[in-house]
Structure 1
Amino acid sequence: MTQTNTDNTAPPLSIVLPARNEADNLPAVLDALRTRFPDAERILVDDGSTDDTAAVARAHGARVVSHPYGMGNGAAIKSGARLARGDLIVFMDADGQHDPADVERLLAKMDEGYDMVVGARNAGSQASVGRLAANTFYNRLASWVTGHKVLDLTSGLRAARADRFRQFLYLLPNGFSYPTTSTMAFFRAGYAVGYLPIRTRPRGGKSHIRPLRDGLRFVLIIFKIGTLYSPLKVFAPASAAFALLGLARYAWTLHFSGTFTNMSALLLMASALTFLMGLISEQISNLMYANTEMRQAPRRREDTEASTEQDR
């Protein structure tokens, strides 16, 4: 991985754009960002492009990070987040879908005390009816797992506090599911997540997302993060299902043959074991996020000390 860095001054804002073969779309996007945010650091992560993406980005004043081959959208996000020097990081697509004017609105929303603000696309911004239906399903499933209203789980336009976001880099997958994982991780850690309605433009060029393959991957990621977020919400329904099947099987065999079969015993044992696995997973999850709380303790002490000094 190679990078270009021409300025050692820490900017207040970093804008990270993952890109793969987006040379045609970059000039308009980067020029618009430079006009609106002249003091911001613009980081273009070239994820193994075979066109002039990196050269075009450099020509338009962006700091360029190049992957030697395509490592995935999530990997590009992680590379950009690690190198970003701003206290706030904005993540947006490089294909022209996102309006730079919405970035200003995201930052204004962040000033209300949020740790992450996500651009929530309206129904007209979905690429197809199938994509709209899939995203609606993802949003409802994630809302159930987290216990919070999730308006857009997969949006690629979001702003986050850099130190908070970097805590969860180890959880982010290298593929297209980084928005899913980061949103649910922020909720689990007790960080404030807000939503801002946006309307996206038709993307330039061809999408790199494959609906069937990446759709199934999104569902798997939701359940994976669900077991990290609140394991009992995943294990308890499975345990209840085994218990109901076992009791139903027992009622059937008791009525017709007056016996308690091995299948009934196996189903009831599976119910008990699944519930116990959920309890253990819940404790492990609590311990994992307790480490996150401990990492935040020094920052809170620093903030308190700074406030005390200002009061004096």
Structure 2
Amino acid sequence: MSRLSIILPAKNEAQALADLLPRLREAQPEAEIIVIDDGSTDDTRVVCATAGVECLSSPYSMGNGAAIKRGARAASGDILVFMDGDGQHDPADVAHLLAKLDEGYDMVVGARDWGSQAGVGRGVANTLYNWLASRMTGHPVLDLTSGFRAVRAGKFREFIHLLPNGFSYPTTSTMAFFRSAYPVAYLPIKAAQRVGKSHIRPLRDGVRFLLIIFKIATLYSPLKLFVPAAVLFFLLGCVNYAWTFIHEGRLTNMSTLLWSAAVIVFLIGLVSEQITALTYRRDA
């Protein structure tokens, strides 16, 4: 029988954990539960000790992704479940994720509906990410950034070196599984209002979310991003040349620049594709 490890990254989430951990232990009494304390300054460690849950503490905050990586390395289970420590995820849904995993999937993600999104801005951003990831992979991606997921430990650890230390570990791990042809499923869930204050910063994380869009492409198939961009530059060069030839009877530097940009972008795409292939290569 597979052993289950539940990993909860937490930073100053003592209030939420005090309610969540007993419910989680009741729902999964045989599971190994590990809280990764990401430099908390509250009573996180005391709450974990009271609940009889293992707590791995960092002397300072290293990031959500860093906590996930530390938890994945420390866990002894064959199946890993990642869930937020802020009280958004229902412990009862863990069983549903595991049941779906038993159908032959290597990763099952809890997909939030629109009502479970943390604000309109986040909802719009996540909708954009899901659409782009679906186009890139050719599979329906219902929630690219959800932090509630069940995975097979061996498969997940193959990509642990790719995961960033920040908040975008869900994006990276999902795209890595798709790229490696490991089956991924989505299971609708309801996410509750988080307890306490969010660690998301709109200005700082707005730039980060924009970078996620490029990460989606480069983690899966860079040419799907670079080829359309190269074609766009080429067509703009042709349009500019046609306009200047009709009106001035000559070829301008702008047309040459746009065509050169098309070639450069295409070559960057080729190189990126080779780097991506090497990144996912498994030595025999």
> TM class by shorter-chain length?
over 0.9
**Alignment partner of 1:34: what SS?**
helix
The equivalent position to 1:255 in structure 2, one of 233, 246, 257, is 246
2: CA distance, partners of 1:288 / 1:141? 21
User: Does the aligned pair in 2 maintain the 1:115–1:160 contact within 8 Å?
Assistant: yes
Farther-moved stretch of structure 1 (171-180 vs 45-54): 171-180
Pair 1:149–1:17, CA change in 2 (3 A): same
Per the alignment, in what secondary structure is the counterpart of residue 160 of structure 1?
A: strand
1:279 equivalent in structure 2:
270
Whether contact under 8 Å (1:231, 1:282) holds in the other structure is yes
Question: Residue 191 of structure 1: SS of its match in structure 2?
Answer: coil
| Paired letter, 1:90 | V
Q: Is 1:239–1:274's contact at 8 Å kept on the other side of the alignment?
A: yes
TM-superposed CA distance for 1:210, in Å, is 1.7
1:67 partnered with 2:58? yes
| Number of residue pairs the alignment of both structures matches | 284
> Structure 2 unaligned runs (5+)?
none
- CA–CA distance in 2 between the matches of 1:41 and 1:215? 35
- Are 1:138 and 1:219, in contact at CA under 8 Å, matched by a contact in 2? no
Q: Which residue of structure 1 lines up, in the alignment, with residue 125 of structure 2?
A: 134
**Backbone CA RMSD of aligned residues:** 1.5
Contact 1:11 1:41 in 2 (8 A): no
Kindly indicate whether residue 185 of structure 2 is the aligned counterpart of residue 187 of structure 1: no
Partner of 1:159: 150
Tell me whether 1:94 sits opposite 2:82 in the alignment: no
In 2 relative to 1, CA 122–289 (structure 1 residues): closer, same or farther, beyond 3 Å? same
Q: Distance in 2 between matches of 1:107 and 1:23?
A: 27
| 1:180-220 superposed Cα distances (whole Å, 9 cap, x missing partner) | 11111111111100000000111111111123322331221
The answer (yes or no) to whether the contact 1:22–1:53 under 8 Å persists in 2 is: yes
| 2:3 corresponding residue in structure 1 | 12
1:81 to 72, 77, 94: 72
- Cα separation, 1, equivalents of 2:61 and 2:273: 36
CA distance in 1 between counterparts of 2:236 and 2:70 reads: 48
Asked if the contact 1:239–1:271 (Cα under 8 Å) also holds between the matched residues in 2, the reply is yes
Question: Which one-letter code corresponds to 1:30 in the other structure?
Answer: L
Task: Pick closer, same or farther for the CA change 1:228–1:200 going to 2, 3 Å.
Answer: closer
* 1:254–1:260 CA contact under 8 A, matched in 2: yes
For 1:114, give the aligned amino acid.
Y
| Match among 101, 104, 113 for residue 104 of structure 2 | 113
- The gaps in structure 1 that reach 5 residues or longer are 1-9, 296-312
How big is the shift at 1:290?
2.4
> Which 4+ runs in 1 deviate beyond 4 A?
none
The residue number in structure 1 matching 2:47 is 56
- The aligned residue for residue 298 of structure 1 is none
Could you tell me how far apart the structure 2 residues matched to 1:286 and 1:69 are?
35
CA contact (8 A) 2:105 2:184 kept: yes
Partner of 1:131, secondary structure, is helix
> Identity percentage over the alignment?
65
Q: Give me the TM-score of the superposition, normalised by structure 2.
A: 0.96
1:208-287 paired onto structure 2 within 5 Å: 208-287=199-278
- TM-superposition CA deviations, 1:45-89 (whole Å, max 9, x none): 000000110121122111111011011111111110111110000
What SS class does the counterpart of residue 15 from structure 2 fall into? coil
1:207 counterpart residue number: 198
SS at match of 1:25: helix
State the Cα deviation string for residues 109-141 of structure 1 (Å, max 9, x = none). 000000000000111111222221121111112
Partners of 1:40 and 1:137 lie apart in 2 by 35
Distance 2:54 2:229 in 1: 48
Alpha-carbon shift at residue 11 of structure 1 (Å): 7.4
SS at match of 2:14: coil
SS of match in other structure, 2:280: helix
TM-score, with structure 1 as normaliser: 0.87
- Tell me whether 1:178 sits opposite 2:169 in the alignment: yes
- Provide the residue aligned with 1:22 in structure 2: 13
Which whole-Å CA distance do the structure 2 matches of 1:126 and 1:36 have between them? 25
